[in-house]
């Protein structure tokens, strides 16, 4: 009973907060997802900073260019990805071969993707401000992806990783399935978990954590995407004027 009261209070506070943002000029955005892959994918969504999750945190997108729109609240920040080769077992547990969010269901419900996973990250500003967005391979690669703006003003360029990076993935970074197929490509941080590859500890600045041979390989494959943590100059994109976004899997 007390849990229900707490949840009701939380939802009421969230509704009032969103109403304030709308009245104060903050803007929401519509994210449209399209699957151009040959096979079905299962996109996942994660809201950052412990804020309430979107109305849909995981769903199925059939192949043949099927699409689905999803609205964000104002001043939203988070990430998107797609899971591959998913299925439901006899007990009803839902699992995926790559980018699993480990809930046992299609909905990710606040869980992020288990690497490796190709990510789109979006930070929606207040009305009149500048949105930031990118494609990231910092957590590795599991399928090609792109993000483009619709409307807006300023630079507003699309960012894309259209290449199948698994074809060039070094053996030590490969994630293989039970049948020996290369399903995804880990980042060096995920594969080795050392400070020099993860830009942690004494390597936590752009000066002490330069590109490595592994991040350079990712950059060669997808020049617009983040190849490691401090790949900002070439990989962060901006757009003002209240744009919407279109995310395409296998662009």
pTM of the model: 0.88
Domain ranges for the chain: 21-165+223-249
What is the C-alpha to C-alpha distance for residues 123 and 229, in angstroms, rounded to an integer? 17
What is the C-alpha to C-alpha distance for residues 124 and 40, in angstroms, rounded to an integer? 28
**pLDDT for res 128:** 66
Task: Point out the residues of the chain with pLDDT beneath 50.
Answer: 1-25
Tell the CATH topology of 21-165+223-249. Answer: Thaumatin (2.60.110)
What is the C-alpha to C-alpha distance for residues 24 and 8, in angstroms, rounded to an integer? 24
Q: What does the block give as tokens for 228?
A: 């490691």
**78 phi and psi angles, rounded to 5 deg:** 180, -165
pLDDT tens, residue by residue, 28-79: 899 999 999 999 999 999 999 989 999 999 999 998 889 999 999 989 999 9
- Our measurement of the distance from residue 6's CA atom to the centroid of its chain's CA atoms, rounded to an integer in Å, reads 30
Cα dihedral value 225, 48, 87, 148, nearest 10? -40
**pLDDT for res 26:** 59
**pLDDT for res 13:** 36
């Amino acid at each position: 009973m007390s849990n229900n009261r707490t949840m009701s209070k939380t939802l009421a506070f969230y509704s009032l907060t969103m109403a304030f943002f709308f009245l104060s000029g903050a803007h929401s955005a519509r994210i449209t997802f399209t699957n151009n892959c040959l096979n079905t994918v299962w996109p996942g969504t994660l809201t950052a900073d412990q804020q309430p999750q979107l109305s849909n945190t995981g769903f199925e997108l059939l192949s043949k260019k099927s699409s689905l729109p999803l609205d964000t609240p104002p001043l939203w920040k988070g990430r998107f990805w797609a899971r591959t080769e998913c299925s439901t077992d006899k007990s009803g547990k839902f699992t995926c071969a790559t980018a699993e969010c480990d809930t046992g269901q299609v909905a990710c419900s606040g869980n992020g993707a288990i690497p490796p996973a190709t990510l789109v990250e979006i930070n929606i500003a207040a009305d009149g401000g500048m949105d930031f967005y990118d494609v990231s391979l910092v957590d590795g690669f599991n399928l090609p992806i792109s993000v483009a703006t619709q409307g807006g003003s300023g630079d507003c360029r699309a960012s894309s990783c259209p290449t199948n990076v698994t074809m060039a993935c070094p053996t030590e970074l490969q994630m293989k399935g039970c049948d020996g197929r290369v399903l995804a490509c880990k980042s060096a941080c995920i594969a080795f978990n050392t400070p020099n590859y993860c830009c942690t500890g004494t390597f936590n600045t752009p000066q002490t954590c330069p590109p490595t041979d592994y991040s350079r390989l990712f950059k060669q494959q997808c020049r617009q995407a983040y190849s490691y943590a401090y790949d900002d100059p070439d990989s962060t994109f901006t757009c003002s004027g209240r744009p919407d976004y279109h995310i395409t899997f296998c662009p």
